Amino acid sequence: MIDTLSDQELERQIRQVRLLRRPMIPKAKMRMRTKTCLSRRPAPGQWRWRGVLLRSCVPLALAAGLPAGAVDAPSPAGQTPARTFDVRQFGAQGDGKTVDTAAIQKALDECGKTGGGTVRFPAGIYLSQPISLRSKTTLVLDPGATLKATDDPKDYLPSSVTWEDVLQGRSKGPFLNFVNGKKLVDVAITGKGTIDGSGARWWAPAEEARRKVPGYTLPRPNMIRITGCKGLKVTGVTLQNSPKFHLVPDDCEDVLIENVTILAPEGAANTDAIDPTMSRRVTITKCLIDVGDDNVAIKSGKGMRGREFACEDLTITDCTFKHGHGLSIGSETSGGVRNLTVKRCSFDGTQNGIRIKSPRGKGGKVENLVYEDITMKNVEGAITITCYYPKIPRTDTAQAVTAETPCFRNIRIRNLTATSTHAAGVIIGLPESLVSNVVLENVQITAATTGLTIRNSTGVQLKNVRVTAKEGPPFIVQDAQVQGLERADQRR
């Protein structure tokens, strides 16, 4: 069989081997091999005798190369080439009708097995059931590529649970998420394409359940949930129409979310955009978010071993928030949140602006927060800092302090300009746990109804603050110690 190869075919295969393997061979050794093995080009008639060894080795070299569907991308000399795994080469159709789960997962698995690389989605619509990412993998969505979730509940539930069981309250699942990942390192989702959660089927029953029980969240899949990852990047892509939350980094470290667009209808229940959960060193920047629930919700529902604060060192900059419930911390804060910086963000038509919320039984320490250079237009409340959720009572009495009593302190809000379609906002602590050390500096709020309520708080400072309220006084102060109130510009 070896001798049946033509001279031209053998030369072609030799060139292919060189292209595939050259980046992995040091230049000195390559020169030595070339000099020793191919010191002079044989005449075509000499291949039969001198090429037997080459004819035997070429197929072996090719067989020992990349998995089917994978190619090496160029890399710096001396480094292992980055490999690209095109999902179409693994059998994905991308026609919007064929369920491509098996092909997509095979590409991801092969990428993980070979030490990492890029899993590429060319233009097309790739219908898929839940998939799982692998370490050192970059998922790239080309322009015109959409990774679209199936919307059949049985694709996300254990075989022993039906969707009807969930709707009737007999079970909460558990649900798989659409894009999953656990205990990973160096994972990225990037490109100019789209991930679509096909959420429409899920939203109507979720809204019905919420109307029956206010505040209730019907169990459903999230679009992307990555748990226990060190080094997570999500850049450039559009995420849209999640059944529930869009992007949840859970117990992750060193997270970058940049230039991401996240979209869902204004009335789509519980469609939070980004929920950093018990995560550290998170940066969210240059994102456009227009959804049906929290634009960003920082959550810390439990303590993490060896960490005083489960959620810390977060930076949010240069983001635009359209419809949604604002930039939130909570309601789960029992694991603690500290060191948040928010700069140069704009809000247009959100239900809330700055929002920090947690009730007794879910609370913890929330401290060292800085908000700077913020603009808000037509929000329903510019500043909401409250130790009650979901409702704030008119009066209350002190209760025993526990490990899950909310404690909010050291909050700075500078250079904020806002117009509110309702009240200016609230800063309200508990009788047993006052909100403390809040500084408002260069703040201007124009409210269509009432002013800024400050209750059960201490160490509140007003520096060059102007609140214009259409109804009642600009500041409503009760059981609170406020400095600079006499110098505040109070207009009606």
pLDDT digits (tens, 9 = 90+) for 117-169: 999 999 999 999 999 999 999 999 999 999 999 999 999 999 999 999 999 99
In whole numbers, what is the pLDDT of the chain averaged over residues? 89
Residues of the chain with CATH 2.160.20.10: 167-491
Average the pLDDT over 205-225 and give the result.
94
Residue-wise pLDDT for 98-122, tens only, equals 999 999 999 999 999 999 999 999 9
pLDDT digits (tens, 9 = 90+) for 322-331: 999 999 999 9
Q: Give pLDDT, residue 22.
A: 42
pLDDT average, residue stretch 244-270: 98
| 3-class SS string, the chain | CHHHCCHHHHHHHHHHHHHHHHHHCCHHHHHHHHHHHCCCCCCHHHHHHHCHHHHHHHHHHHHCCCCCCEEECCCCCCCCCCEEEEHHHHCCCCEEEEECHHHHHHHHHHHHHCCCEEEEECCEEEEECCEECCCCEEEEECCCEEEEECCCHHHCCCCCCCHHHHHCCCCCCCCCCCEEEECCEEEEEEECCEEECCCHHHHHHHHHHHHHCCCCCCCCCCCEEEECCEEEEEECCEEECCCCCCEEEECCEEEEEECCEEECCCCCCCCCCECCECCEEEEEECCEEECCCCCEEEECCCCCCCCCCCEEEEEEECCEECCCCCEEECCCCCCCEEEEEEEEEEEECCCCCEEEECCCCCCCEEEEEEEEEEEEEEECCCEEEECCCCCCCCCCCCCCCCCCCCEEEEEEEEEEEEEECCCCEEEECECCECEEEEEEEEEEEEECCCCEEEEEEEEEEEEEEEEEECCCCCEEEEEEEEECCCCCEEEC
The pLDDT assigned to 427 comes to 98
167-491: CATH number? 2.160.20.10
Q: What is the pLDDT of residues 416-467, one digit of tens each?
A: 999 999 999 999 999 999 999 999 999 999 999 999 999 999 999 999 999 9
What average pLDDT score do residues 71-100 get? 82
Q: What is the pLDDT of residue 20?
A: 42
Residue-level pLDDT at 50: 41
Q: What is the mean pLDDT of residues 474-486?
A: 96
Mean pLDDT of 474-478: 97
Share of the chain above pLDDT 90, in %: 81
Lowest-confidence region among 9-23, 115-129, 244-258? 9-23
Does residue 241 surpass a pLDDT of 80?
yes
The 10s digit of each residue's pLDDT in 25-75 is 444 444 444 444 434 444 544 434 344 433 444 444 344 455 667 777 655
Question: pLDDT band at 284, cuts 50/70/90?
Answer: very high
The reported pLDDT for the residue numbered 72 is 72
Which is higher by pLDDT, 258 or 73? 258
- Mind telling me the catalytic residues? 293, 325
Banded pLDDT at 214 (limits 50, 70, 90): confident
Tens digits of residue pLDDT in 336-371:
999 999 999 999 999 999 999 999 999 999 999 999
Per-residue pLDDT at 477 exceeds 80 = yes
**Residue 49: what pLDDT?**
38
